[in-house]
């Protein structure tokens, strides 16, 4: 299976590196296109077997799957510049560009298409990636899930769910980081060094996520384990609720969707 990646920026570059490090695709079967020689050189320095080019058409012409990781406003221009074949699979990483729009950009060639929304943790192979498909087979869908599972966790959603799911994952990672930043500030005020506070809070967030993902438990169950009657944790949680913490998170997610 030969995969072309159009765009070697933050997302495209991270996907290329993730696929190269994974077990499902050979490095020599990857080709990455980008106008920036600096980005392509950096990628090849890490993965010499990955082929690179500045020509989108050259990258796509022999590929079975074409991953397009460019800004949404460039999608029409980029997709329209490629001579598509009906046996190719298009994977769009552009948030907000619908299947209907993608179909209108492919020169009238009807393609199996996926929309994938990773988040920035893909650079650490810890992305929460959302995947929706149109006109695809079950085998194609499972393969894409497997590819992105090697870069974190991949989940199938419908296109109608994309907005809500993006708010929780792509936007939501910023809200988690905002909590970490706020908790760090509190730690500094309480006498901790910023670097120490950051490590403490970041590891606590990582641990909280592991409890839920590894045990398939519920946040309320885990909260109950640390909120002893009359204890310090329940006092802090009640302060969060008095300040509208839960409401603020819900409102932020709804605004983002």
Q: Mean per-residue pLDDT for 230-239?
A: 97
What CA–CA distance (Å, rounded) separates 197 from 206?
Answer: 14
pLDDT digits (tens, 9 = 90+) for 61-87: 999 999 999 999 999 999 999 999 999
Please give the C-alpha separations between residue 223 and each of 120, 160, 211, 235, 237, in angstroms, as whole numbers.
Answer: 27, 32, 11, 13, 9
- Check whether 189 has a pLDDT greater than 90: yes
Average pLDDT over residues 3-13: 96
Residue 107 clears pLDDT 90, i.e. is over it: no
**Percentage of the chain lying above the pLDDT 90 cut:** 99
Map out the domains of the chain with their CATH numbers.
3-157 (3.40.50.720), 165-256 (1.10.3730.10)
Cβ-based neighbour number of residue 244 at 10 Å: 11
């Amino acid at each position: 299976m030969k995969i072309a990646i159009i765009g070697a920026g933050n997302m495209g570059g991270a996907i290329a590196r993730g696929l190269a490090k994974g077990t499902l695709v050979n490095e020599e079967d990857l080709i990455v296109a980008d106008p920036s020689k600096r980005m392509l050189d950096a990628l090849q320095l890490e993965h010499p077997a990955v082929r690179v080019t500045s020509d989108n058409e050259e990258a796509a012409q022999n590929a079975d799957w074409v991953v397009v990781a460019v800004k949404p406003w460039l999608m029409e221009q980029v997709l329209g510049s490629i001579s598509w074949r009906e046996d190719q699979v298009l994977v769009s990483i552009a948030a907000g560009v619908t299947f209907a729009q993608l179909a209108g950009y492919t020169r009238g060639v009807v393609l199996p298409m996926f929309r994938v929304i990773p988040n920035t943790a893909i650079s650490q192979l810890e992305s929460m990636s959302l995947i929706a498909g149109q006109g695809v087979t079950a085998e194609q869908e499972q393969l894409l899930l497997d590819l992105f599972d090697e870069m974190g966790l991949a989940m199938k959603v419908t296109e109608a769910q994309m907005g809500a799911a993006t708010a929780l994952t792509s936007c939501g990672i910023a809200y988690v980081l905002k909590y970490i930043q706020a908790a760090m500030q509190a730690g500094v005020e309480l006498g901790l060094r910023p670097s120490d506070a950051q490590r403490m809070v970041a590891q606590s967030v990582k641990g909280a996520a592991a409890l839920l993902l590894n045990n398939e438990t519920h946040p309320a169950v885990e909260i109950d384990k640390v909120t002893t009657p009359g204890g310090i944790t329940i006092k802090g949680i009640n302060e969060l609720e008095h300040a509208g913490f839960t409401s603020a998170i819900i409102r932020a997610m709804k605004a983002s969707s």
